[in-house]
Structure 1
Amino acid sequence: MRQRQQPVRSFFCAVMLATLCWGGCALNPMSHDAARPIPGGALYEFPLFNDQVTGIALSATGRLFVNFPRWGKDPLYSVAEVLPDGTTRPFPDEGWNRWGRDEATHPEAHFVCVQSVFIDRNDRLWILDAASPGFSGVVPHGAKLLKVNIDSATVEQVIPFGPEIALSHSYLNDVRIDTGRNIAYLTDSGTGALVVVDLATGTSRRLLADHPSTKAEPDYVPKIDGRELRDSTGQVPQINADGIALDPAGEYLYYHALTARTLYRIKTVYLRDPKLSPTELAKHVERLTETGAADGMVMDGSGNLFVTSLEDHAVKEYRPGKPLATIVQDSLIHWPDSLAISPDGYLYITDSQINLSPRFNFGKDLRIRPYRYFKSWLLPLETEQGTLRSLP
């Protein structure tokens, strides 16, 4: 069994903190380009952001995109590209990232509350706008999915979600794209459902909205650093279908409610069949394993699934028939949120520090600025049959 060395924190953190500029940018540590990767070795830390970061995506050439939801305050940008020198720029432009009194009258043309970003196999950036600032409810005409050409920084497609898809208390959370079939798959962590979008026609369907696989498990109480995750009223947050992943062939969709133990999957052929009734569709849901509370997921090109583990400050790997393997673990990663794999084989992890927010600390904000992302090099797994892992 492969073993990971203890992750090492970059000593450049001190330099980062000293050089952070309060306009929303900073310099990357020198190790961003200069470090020679050690398989299973150093966990590199990039404390770059003044705003709470959730989503992360990397292009085929290594361009890095992140997003900042509008939760407690207005972020400087909703979506940004992180440039090689560590500075950020709004993406695709200033207009989409502008939000104020004037822009509020046109939520369809501006980012309201972006939750996730994703790069597809054609190197297009997809931006999912949940349009629910502070989880206060979906702003009418604000929920949408954008397709962006990253070379020209132009929006090629906007798919709006009406109230029949983005319900008033929905929170569209994550997205995966099947470029071959021209289909998008989304999770709704607010009400609990999967959303399937025909990208050719722009039509969407809500599925498994009444199935336990998309719901938080009411009897489950996550514990982080020995503390139960409860708000100031003592309630455990009921966060539904959240993380999502699509296998390389586009045949299986994997998904997981956040405050739940269980990982599920379903064949996409059934999700794409509009003739199946909810009862018939439910018969095809497969229960895979218990992982504990999980937020983000990503799958590599060989079908190995990586899942964040909130209670262990870790990322774990799931392979059918094998026990979960810890890939990265460090208490510095307070809330491992979203995952991405770079072309050169690094696993990227954002830390949204949700457990340190005032909601879960009796009104005290314990979040540590600057917010950060991490990366660690993925060691190819060698077996008697050969290499099991390849890049996407």
Structure 2
Amino acid sequence: MRCSPWSWAPWPCPAPPSRSRPSCSSAGSFGSRSAERLATLRRHQSTGPLMCSEFWDGWFDWWGGVHHTTDVATAAADLDELLAAGASVNIYMFHGGTNFALTNGANQKGRYLPLVTSYDYDAPLDEAGNPTEKFFAFREVIARYAPVPDELPAAAEAAPAFEVPLTPAGAWTDLAGPASTTAQPETFDALGHLSALVRYDAELRDARGGLLVVDEVRDLAWVSVDDRVVGTLSRTRHDRAIRIPDGRTLSILVEDQGRVNYDRRLGEEKGLIGEITLDGAPVTGWRSTPLDVAEIAAEVDAEIDTELDATTGTDAADVLKTGPAAWTSSFTLDAPTDLVLDTMAWSKGYAFVNGFFLGRYWRNGPQRTLSVPAPATREGANRLVVLELENVVEPRAVFVGAPSLGDTEE
């Protein structure tokens, strides 16, 4: 029997037992209906220990979805039912976390769904390590079957709340590495590029526009002609075509939004995949330019006190209209501390504090805040760098007291 790691069915042995190799135990993965799931496991394994190898006490979120939560009492009752049967359990997740930098994965089950930066998972310990109501409910259940320590974790305290203005630091998508010129666009993988973005440029024959068709975009592309944004192509939306105006230079900025992290799509290539045509004619002669967002943020940060200092007097209202732009800010702390950065005044991009890559933000939601761990901050002056891909709605950075991970299904 074979099963997916995302199913509730029991995990199989890799091969039937033999005289030279003893059998191995199977386990189930589930987060509800514990008695029913254990009965299924027992049908496939008539003797031996019962175990839930992943007891799902929450779920992950993807961009454009909702924030997933599970009812505390229901989750605790399912755990109680499992332990009452004498089964062993591995709680997944016990401590939520964060997909810092570009470490988020993605799902693909007919529709590509990149995961958000937060991996809070509605776990007993939240993204910042604070105990939740679910922690105490699970502790009470476990205490019925095994000793638990008397020590309790400290309750969460509100993070410092304050606001600072953002200062424009100019365009950043032209701060790129060397380009590769080939007949067809180079994938991220062929370029050996591990960061988020590659810009593809081609000259249009006779400077004529038309219907641009791409076999596949992995994963999100901003299409421009002569530096004027025309629109986007999204893998999630199954987009393949967009009509472009007359112009000389076609530019397509492609974002790798996260790798599918299971099954047959492991290791798939990113970028513009397959043939690209304009009104049916192939478009060839592409410059593929990788953009390392972490290196660019470091360059912006290093230059803000020197060369860019002369440009920061630019009217922010003008920058708000121009699309991709870098923004910076400074704030002072009495000591390193956990912070929560509200990104709802921005659109889509990447945020850094003192060079530490917090991750991606996107108004598409559900996630509305980014976790800033205390070790990324310092006593005294701290620096924030924001690489915005679309538009900063309001030029300010807002730090709030608690995370906001989005609307739930309730």
Larger radius of gyration: 2
Compute the TM-score of the two structures, normalised by the length of structure 2: 0.22
